[in-house]
Structure 1
Amino acid sequence: MIEQKHFDVIIVGGSYSGLSAAMSLGRSLREVLVIDSGLPCNRQTPHSHNFITHDGEKPAVISAKAKVQVDFYDTVQFYNGLVVSAIKTENGFEIKTESGKIFTSRKVLFATGVKDLLPEIDGFKECWGISVLHCPYCHGYEVKKEKMAIISNGEMGFEFAKLISNWTKDLKLCTNGKSTLTLEQTKILKKHNVQIFEEEIDLLEHKNGEIKNIIFKNQGKVAVKAIYARPPFEQHCQLPKDLGCDINEQGLLKVDTMQKTNISGIYASGDCVTQMRSVAIAVSTGSFAGAVINKDLIDEDF
């Protein structure tokens, strides 16, 4: 039970970025409350990569270990719950949870991530994060030189195919409908032996999330070991927008080089602010945000 009501900083989102910020702030002797609803976007991903000292570790293991280490700092507290409202007040912010708990703080950090809007393709959701992947730097090495496909189209499909061709030469681009590639892009891809399939996808045949075949609506199929896709997304938490924080053209919270939003006292870090979605980058931006917030508090009080 948390008796304390007022904090220096409330961190909304207790995954990698939020925990990293909490450690910076805890080590700065700040009174911090981390509020988390327990729904990290990579909860279905079996292994995390490209994060030194944790390469190949299960995401849940990394976050559990991080929470234990952050909990060592006695000025940091945790609350399991969903934040449903945030109000800017004369002295800071008022944060209300779904259970009705109200906490206040001088500063707020949103480390709330994003929500992927997965396509209505049977099997896609079950494979997402396991064999349907978003980032070759996170997962490409494990499926290197295997049969792969990309579900994309147009400019994004072309650039994605260029990128993934670094990891395999057996690559197919599935546009899931009529191709919107230019003639020049099509010519370049074919020159590099990237096959283009314009048929609509019916389902992804898989076993426990491990993709076996792409099945098209014309009953054709393509065997693959992995698929890359970048579905659209939205902010996992709409409260920063409600508070007046700017959203950029990619749908990300707009922050400056100090992780500050356009609203004084509100900061953001992790997946909600960057297209480079990885544990390492989430940790980096969270750690930096924590240091920036502490310095701002010092400047205000000195």
Structure 2
Amino acid sequence: MEFDCAIIGGGPAGLNAALVLGRARRKTILFDNHKPRNAITRVSHGFLTRDGVSPSQFRELAAEELTQYPSIQKEEREIDSISQDGAGFRLVSLSGRALYARKIILATGLIESLPKIDGLANCYGTSIFNCPYCDGWELRDKPLVLLSETSQAYRMAMLLYNWSQDLIVCTNGQDVLTLKQQAALREKGLLVESQPVDFLLADKGRLAAVRFADGSMIRRNGGFVTPVLSQNRPFADILGCKRNENNDMITDAFGRTSVRGVYAAGDTATAAPSQLIIAAAAGSRAAIGVNEDLSEETFA
């Protein structure tokens, strides 16, 4: 079976790409393994007319809208391999089913690794989050903690200062802040704690306090963390898509990668900022790129 486009990933980027291609009357198949990175998130913000929607509700509404277009086929299965086959691509699912597509949109998203701190997993998605644009408003002016073992610690602290100036920056024993950065944070009245975090005290996911290795504690009502992000699937690298110095995929304004016929959208292409509305917009651009390229090939 041959499709105009196969979309790998059923998040906001993949769903919106399918919608645009369906409306363009392109025979499209969308693969979704139902393992979204934001599954733990209760509500999402920053998407006009959908502010406060849960990720699961967003996906359900989107899937329902796609059923209006007969050219869109949605498969709840996972792709195991992709290889170039002539002018198109051969995709094989975990079940062994093979199909062909002229174009591919990679929208598989990212996976995240959190710092190894006892109690963090219980708070994540309830009172500790990773995106201030998504959840900063709900935590405004509260006593917060930033947990970061990465070079993003200083940048995130500067952002969070806009939502709450009662902030302690914890690097969990990692040397990720320069002396100049530490001085700048303290000058703004922010606390900097470099010793390891022993435990996060919480009640049903609601953060109450942070306990450090020396036994000291500080009360907090919520906070943010900077997870380490990596590609969910290796398809882009297997196909030979080039990346920049930040490990983001090199794409043009319409999601075209360095490999002809391969497009990328959402977090798969670039890790930040990670929001529903940005990912959906990227999916739309990639779909337009696919449709325009298919149209040009028809008249070539």
TM range, normalised to the smaller chain? over 0.9
Moved more, 208-217 or 150-159: 150-159
| Counterpart check, 1:277 vs 2:282 | no
Query: Residue in 2 aligned with 1:127?
Result: 123
Between the aligned partners of 2:202 and 2:25, the Cα distance in structure 1 is: 49
Between the aligned partners of 1:270 and 1:254, the Cα distance in structure 2 is: 13
The 1:251/1:221 distance shift into structure 2, 3 A limit, reads: farther
| Counterpart check, 1:296 vs 2:293 | yes
Within 5 A, what are the aligned runs for 1:1-302?
A: 5-152=1-148, 156-177=152-173, 179-274=175-270, 275-302=272-299
Between the aligned partners of 1:214 and 1:17, the Cα distance in structure 2 is: 36
| Letter in structure 2 aligned against 1:7 | F
Give yes or no for contact 2:149–2:226 (8 Å, CA) kept in 1: no
Give yes or no for contact 1:235–1:251 (8 Å, CA) kept in 2: no
Shift in Å, 1:259: 0.6
The 1:140/1:291 distance shift into structure 2, 3 A limit, reads: same
| Letter in structure 1 aligned against 2:280 | V
What root-mean-square deviation, in Å, do the aligned CA atoms of Structure 1 and Structure 2 show?
1.5
| Letter in structure 2 aligned against 1:158 | Y
Between the aligned partners of 1:267 and 1:68, the Cα distance in structure 2 is: 25
Structure 1: gaps spanning 5 or more residues: none
SS in 1 for 2:81: strand
Count of aligned positions: 298
Between the aligned partners of 1:269 and 1:155, the Cα distance in structure 2 is: 25
Moved more, 139-148 or 150-159: 150-159
| Letter in structure 2 aligned against 1:283 | A
Moved more, 33-42 or 129-138: 129-138
The 1:178/1:66 distance shift into structure 2, 3 A limit, reads: closer
Give yes or no for contact 1:134–1:229 (8 Å, CA) kept in 2: yes
SS in 1 for 2:7: strand
SS in 2 for 1:42: helix
Give yes or no for contact 1:153–1:181 (8 Å, CA) kept in 2: no
Between the aligned partners of 1:180 and 1:290, the Cα distance in structure 2 is: 39
Give yes or no for contact 2:114–2:226 (8 Å, CA) kept in 1: no
| Letter in structure 2 aligned against 1:21 | A
Shift in Å, 1:130: 2.6
The 1:184/1:240 distance shift into structure 2, 3 A limit, reads: closer
C-alpha distance after superposition, 1:166-224 (max 9, x if no partner): 00110111111154433332222111110111220122222333222222222222221
| Letter in structure 2 aligned against 1:271 | D
SS in 2 for 1:43: helix
Give yes or no for contact 1:126–1:209 (8 Å, CA) kept in 2: yes
TM-score, normalised via structure 2 length:
0.95
Moved more, 171-180 or 281-290: 171-180
Moved more, 280-289 or 118-127: 118-127
Shift in Å, 1:14: 1.0
Between the aligned partners of 1:58 and 1:277, the Cα distance in structure 2 is: 16
Between the aligned partners of 1:37 and 1:178, the Cα distance in structure 2 is: 35
SS in 2 for 1:247: coil
TM-score, normalised via structure 1 length:
0.94
Percent identity, aligned pairs only, is 32
Between the aligned partners of 1:182 and 1:93, the Cα distance in structure 2 is: 47
Between the aligned partners of 2:233 and 2:248, the Cα distance in structure 1 is: 11
Between the aligned partners of 1:256 and 1:204, the Cα distance in structure 2 is: 43
The 1:251/1:204 distance shift into structure 2, 3 A limit, reads: farther
Structure 2: gaps spanning 5 or more residues: none
Between the aligned partners of 2:88 and 2:296, the Cα distance in structure 1 is: 16
| Letter in structure 1 aligned against 2:30 | V
